[in-house]
Amino acid sequence: MQKIETTIVDGKALAQDIRQRIAGEVANLTCTGRRKPKLVVVLVGSNPASLSYIKGKQRACMSVGFDSEEILLPENISQEKLLAEIVRLNQDACSDGILVQLPLPTHLCPNRVAQAIDPVKDVDGLHPQNAGALLLGIPGHRACTPLGILEILDRHHVPMEGAHAVVLGRSNIVGKPVAQLLLERNATVTICHSRTKNLPAVTREADILVAAVGRARMVKADWVKPGAAVIDVGVNVIDDKLVGDVDFEALHGIAKILTPPKGGVGPMTITMLLHNTLNAYKIREGL
């Protein structure tokens, strides 16, 4: 079989580069006496993975000169109380971005929560207005992980126009929006899911393969066309080790571009959250 030189994506370095640009812009804004942009993260319950993610978001905010706030709410909070908290944050003049960490406990409806957030402050891009704006190709916040994936592909000069992009997973936060962004860039997009038949045959056709299903090492070497760009969004913990949806080691020598399970898509997602928060700030400040 053809041997390919695989480039492992350094998501941390890419993220650092973009964060520097954001930090520079924030410094320019605040040195003229303006307030800092502010992100508010709401966590319901105390899921350890979510706690670790929100710490990462807080650190990222600090690194670019944003204010940030974490609101920790009890696991058994009612839907009404959570919505009331969101209404309060919508009205708070100093909060630019609101992110309600997912997953939520099962008694809470993520769609109702997304609909309660002021679309301008909806830095996750999950409000129907933002999701609809993506579909129509009009301005609005785009979901962070899909934005980060597009940035990775662009920075590695992966051609999208005319490419066959295969997306594994149809979530509202990754699968559907990344498929739409790839379509906007003139890729031919196939979305696969749990009922897709003969999945390996479909993925083998992909020039760009995005895996976002949450099944450890599902994508094997013989699922991937030599020379494909493979973006692994999966975060699975196996024996205390972080593994993606892709069999990372097995894809060396097959994929042309490959994201690692750690330091790949993750840092880019948080960086795009900063990007969206800065955009929300600019809109709110009339800049």
124 catalytic residue (yes or no): yes
Please give the torsion angle defined by the CA atoms of residues 223, 225, 228 and 229, in that order, rounded to the nearest 10 degrees.
Answer: 0
Distance of alpha carbon 165 from alpha carbon 206, whole angstroms: 5
58 catalytic residue (yes or no): no
For the segment 69-88, give every residue that binds ligand GUN (CB under 6 A).
Answer: none
- Which of these, 128, 255, 225, 84, lies nearest to 71 by C-alpha position? 84
122 lies in the binding site for ligand GUN (CB under 6 A) = no
Residue 90 near residue 117, CB atoms below 8 Å? yes
Name residues whose C-beta falls within 8 Å of residue 58's C-beta, 6 or more positions apart in sequence: 41, 68, 70
Q: What is the largest CA-CA distance in the chain?
A: 61
| Cα dist from 15 to 19, 21, 51, 270, 281, whole Å | 6, 10, 21, 8, 20
Q: Cβ-closest residue to ligand GUN? A: 102
Q: Which of 122, 124, 207, 245 binds ligand GUN (CB under 6 A)?
A: 124
Q: Which of 100, 134, 178, 212 binds ligand GUN (CB under 6 A)?
A: 100
In the bound state with ligand GUN, the residue whose beta carbon lies nearer, of 144 and 167, is 144
Q: Which of 40, 134, 173, 178 binds ligand GUN (CB under 6 A)?
A: 173
In the bound state with ligand GUN, the residue whose beta carbon lies nearer, of 269 and 277, is 269
Smallest gap from residue 266 Cβ to ligand GUN (A): 9
Q: How far is CA 67 from the centre of its chain?
A: 21
Count of helix runs (H) and strand runs (E) in the chain: 9, 11
Q: Which of 29, 39, 85, 101 binds ligand GUN (CB under 6 A)?
A: 101
In the bound state with ligand GUN, the residue whose beta carbon lies nearer, of 102 and 210, is 102
Distance of alpha carbon 77 from alpha carbon 75, whole angstroms: 6
26 lies in the binding site for ligand GUN (CB under 6 A) = no
Q: Which of 99, 108, 265, 280 binds ligand GUN (CB under 6 A)?
A: 99
160 lies in the binding site for ligand GUN (CB under 6 A) = no
Write out the residues near ligand GUN by the rule CB under 6 A: 99-102, 124, 144-145, 173, 269
Give catalytic residues, as residue numbers. 57, 101, 124
